[in-house]
Structure 1
Amino acid sequence: MNYTTEIVSLDPLAIYINDLLSKPEADYLLDLAKSQDSFVHHEDKYPEHMTESARRIASSCHLPADDPVVQCFLARALDFVGFINHDGFESLQVVKYLPGERHDPHHDWFATPARVAPGKVCNRAASFFVYLGEEPTGGETCFHHLNPAPPDADATKFSNINSDDGLGLAVKPIVGNGMFWMNLHANNSGDERVRHSALPVRSGVKYGMNVLLKRCFAG
């Protein structure tokens, strides 16, 4: 699969990826997600999150790790991350947003990383978010602390946030395209500058795939 990239930000590192998935691959993975018949609404799975400041209103399911297309995609994602220090990926999660659903500003890294062994913790070193299926109106992924897109940026892919400090970039959902960004600093602390949100879907259904790269370290 031949994809192209556009560096959105060097610090923090954030990269837009064109055609990370082919249309047949994106359709296959979406059909695979639907065939699981296991989309669970986030607030049903985590009722305690209903009062959190970074509230997520969406449904999600996980893809089977032994599926050959899943394995092919993960091999491609591993090639993309190159020499980044990591410990593999979490299971792929497909997220579904219906009209009006959203995910308020949040970051993917954990403030308290999961302990996996005595003296060892794991956190999410980096993230991909790849769009599947339909192309809804609304549903942009907004990065609140990144510089806005330049005037000559492709308006079919990027728009800007009208924020008080002039910062903010919005990425529109286009099937097969996605974003990659680093979540952790070199010292493994979380980077607040990659806080992002999913704006409400205005019409249609938004499907996206979370691809989360793990890193384990002393802690």
Structure 2
Amino acid sequence: MGIYCCSYDLLRPVLFPFFAALLLVGSSLGRADSDFFDPTRVTQLSWRPRAFLYKRFLSYDECDHLMTLAKDKLEKSMVADNESGKSVMSEVRTSSGMFLEKRQDEVIARIEKRIAAWTFLPEENGESMQILHYELGEKYEPHFDYFHDQTNQQLGGHRVATVLMYLSNVQKGGETIFPNSEGKLSQLKNDTWSDCAKNGYAVKPEKGDALLFFSLHLDATTDPKSLHGSCPVIEGEKWSATKWIHVRSFDKPEKNRSSDACEDENVLCPQWAAAGECAKNPLYMVGSKDSLGFCRKSCNVCSL
């Protein structure tokens, strides 16, 4: 249980207002059998960024089931515009994909519970699972999973964690790469790796494995070392499933807040303000003319 417990302890400072929900998840899933969550299959890949690999997270039958659900529903993948937050087409991302519904069937519901048990993050904070398909030459240029636009921040806040599940093997290429990782120089690579993968710390897609990485530091600030991408497929094809998890509930819309109210929305606001986050992360802490921030009291910007 070492990896499981240690991961939980290290995550405590970044668990935001959903801590009570997190405890409920832990208590209800803590009774799970070893085949539901097996911490012996988890390896820490990196600490900057925080990244972990779970071998055989999905069974082959689960992988095949997800691919079957998606095959006749794939559309050109989109990216989020940095200014508007809207989904737009871009050559940065050339895959095709589709979104499944939450708890669409028993298999998906079981996988979502397993993700919550592994990450200690509530199911309601997760987006619907996205299935992606990469054909020859298709890729996703390095990008961040956290947001700077208010539209997306209001939908559950930043993405704090990403679980990337590999649904197929890839003969060559298709690696997940972290160009800014501190471990990129120490990772040995031979000719089985693509040239793209040699530009950072990389993870080979293997059917059933899952990669968990965090986009925020333990103090809730964004982590630039979480920059990541998908290398072009050189031989074969790549199938994957992505679960993005936010700092707040993604299922429930943000409550309306009065501009006259002088309050913090998070118990950690005074701590973050003391660390200088009012200036470093003003959109979240202070807000803008279009959206109130979440730590206005601690940042001393309330109307008097």
Between the two proteins, what is the percent identity of the paired residues? Answer: 25
C-alpha RMSD of matched pairs (Å) = 3.1
Q: Which residue of 2 aligns with 1:170?
A: 202
Q: Which residue of 2 aligns with 1:180?
A: 212
Relative to its length, the structure with more helix (as a share) is: 2
2:204 matches 1:202: no
What secondary structure does 2:154 align onto?
strand
2:80 matches 1:40: no
Q: Deviations over 1:35-82 (max 9, x none)?
A: xx221112599884436xxx1111010113221111000100000012
Shift in Å at residue 31 of structure 1?
1.1
Pick the aligned partner of 2:58 from 21, 26, 32.
21
Q: Which residue of 1 aligns with 2:90?
A: 50
Q: Could you tell me which runs of 5 or more consecutive residues in structure 2 were left unpaired when the two chains were aligned.
A: 1-34, 81-85, 249-265, 267-293, 296-304
TM-score (norm 2): 0.59
Shift in Å at residue 25 of structure 1?
1.1
What secondary structure does 1:125 align onto?
strand
2:221 maps to amino acid: S
Larger Rg: 1 or 2? 2
Compared CA separation, residues 23 and 154, structure 1 to 2 (3 A): farther
Pick the aligned partner of 1:193 from 225, 230, 237.
225
Indicate conservation of the 8 Å contact 1:140/1:172, yes or no: yes
Q: Distance in 2 between matches of 1:136 and 1:108?
A: 27
Compared CA separation, residues 48 and 75, structure 1 to 2 (3 A): closer
Q: Distance in 1 between matches of 2:213 and 2:90?
A: 27
2:101 matches 1:64: yes
Displaced runs of 4 or more, over 6 A:
44-47, 153-160
Q: Could you tell me which runs of 5 or more consecutive residues in structure 1 were left unpaired when the two chains were aligned.
A: none
2:80 matches 1:79: no
What secondary structure does 2:125 align onto?
coil
Tell me which of the two structures has the higher relative contact order, counting C-alpha pairs closer than 8 angstroms and 6 or more residues apart: 1
